Copies of this chain bind each other. A is one copy, B any other.
Amino acid sequence: MNSTLDRPLPSSSSPPPWDTIAQAFVGALGRDRVVQRREELLVYECDGLTSYRQRPALVVLPRSTAEVATAVQLCNRFQVPFVARGSGTGLSGGALPIEDSVLIVTARMGAILHVDLDNQRVVVQPGVINSWVTQAVGGAGFYYAPDPSSQIICSVGGNVAENSGGVHCLKYGVTTNHVLGVKVVLPDGSIADFGGMVPEMPGYDLTGLFVGSEGTLGIATEITLRILKVPEAVTVLLADFTSVEAAGAAVSGIISGGIIPAGIEMMDNFSINAVEDVVKTQCYPRDAAAILLVEIDGSTSETRMNSDRVEAICKANGARQITRAQDLGDRLTLWKGRKAAFAAMGKLSPDYYVQDGVIPRTQLPWVLQEIAALGEKHGYKVANVFHAGDGNLHPLILYDNGVPGALEQVEELGGEILKLCVKAGGSISGEHGIGSDKRCYMPEMFSPVDMATMAWVRQVFDPQGLANPTKIFPTPRTCGEAGQASTLLQFPQADVF
């Protein structure tokens, strides 16, 4: 194990040819851990953000902490950047390869290492798929709460990197609230343990710092998760409204009434009709301006009582009709349209672009109006299907990538929506991360001193700029003026970061 204290300065000499580097990886890790054939590398050239593509020079598939450390040490020896990748489902380009980089794929690290039901902990390797955790402990009445919509395919390692959310994060919080510790291969190849089985360890909260750092502070190789007891009862309510304002007021009313549903989702009229055209659930009223789907869980009596209260609050705020689903079949029917909403858009429009921003809940009606106006200005339809309880918007911009210039226009519109979120007192990302997609908007939210503080933290973890460089931080090369504004210019390797 190297010491993190032994930190050479960034080298300016060129690395050897990739054949030489590949040989060293094969020698250290074995042939079956290394992918180097051009056609095999193809599948790794993007993550869920498919509009950007870059083929990595080499892919490594380690199976243990020691193998990840070896891979990172080799990257250090050859001074080549590396990018960590789990299942590659991320939506902000966090796992997008960088030119002439090594992609370290944790997909083969799929072991559940330890289950401690008494202390409600599970220790997993990073390649474990999100839904496997619940499968492993479900029989004993436990589950893992964070549930991104990609949960049957996304990895826990990727969830940690992006601090992923999900439908239930209103009540249960996002990934960082469920990670108690991480074993990390630091950017220099040394191994550190942040946190552990006990919450709130003394010293700096490096676990919290690491979660959401998008592969820039190292690679998690073991993750200690908190699991929860499955609630006794679950109910889903569908409430329909004749105005978005009324639906927004109902959301505020529920929360300020002291009820914390597991989740509150909103769909606007366009999304409702898209879903009914394609999925034909026949549950969603086509003439509603907006519907809310409210999931309530807890003990049987609590769930019944809170359902009654949510129903009353929705009615007081003008809901026309309320459907309540208690058994699993009914619940799945009500959720079906929401879950299929993105796919439905895909059928209605050649392409769509999902944005991810956050606003204070109280700003919902105003912001939705502004989004509609921005869409009209740019000539694009924007559908809204989102986590209303958290104020976490997911505007879907419908477009045709076959039309020259359309992607650029849509990205501009997406950027204006992000600026609107910041103006409303919100954030440029709720749960998808910054990655390569949103780095140029970071100066919208953060002052030069804020950005510099983050950059210094990154610098101290990764003085050579090898761990997923070009992500999160705006640079003059990638963002022009926005990158200048971040003052990162003053770093020796600012343009790498």
Closest to A429 in B: B202
Closest to A430 in B: B200
Which one, A31-39, A187-195, A365-373, is touching chain B? A187-195
The CA-CA distance from A425 to B121 in the complex, in Å, is: 13
Name the distance in Å between A433's Cβ and chain B's nearest Cβ. Answer: 7
A491 to B211 alpha-carbon distance, docked (Å): 27
Q: Can you report 16 residue pairs joining A to B where beta carbons are below 8 Å apart?
A: A3-B449, A4-B449, A176-B200, A177-B177, A198-B426, A200-B430, A200-B431, A202-B428, A202-B438, A203-B445, A204-B209, A206-B453, A209-B457, A302-B302, A302-B305, A453-B461
Q: Are B200 and A204 in contact (CB under 8 A)?
A: no
Q: Nearest Cβ distance between residue A140 and chain B, in whole angstroms?
A: 9
| Smallest CB gap from A232: residue in B | B258
- Residue pair A360, B119 in contact (C-beta under 8 Å): yes
CB distance from A76 to the nearest CB of B (A): 15
- Docked-complex contact B449 and A192, CB < 8 angstroms: yes
Interface residues of A (CB under 8 A from B): 1, 3-5, 116-120, 141, 163, 165, 174, 176-177, 186, 190-194, 196-206, 208-209, 211-213, 217, 229-232, 252, 255-258, 298-299, 301-302, 305-306, 358-362, 390-391, 425-431, 433-434, 438, 442, 445-450, 452-454, 456-461, 472, 487, 490
A interface, by DSSP: helix, strand, loop or mixed?
A: loop
Give chain B residues whose Cβ lies under 8 Å from the Cβ of A199: 390
- Residue pair B450, A461 in contact (C-beta under 8 Å): no
Q: Are A190 and B391 in contact, CB atoms less than 8 angstroms apart?
A: no
Residues of B within 8 A of A193 (CB): 446-447, 450
A427 touches B201 (CB 8 A): yes
Residue of B nearest to A252 (CB): B118
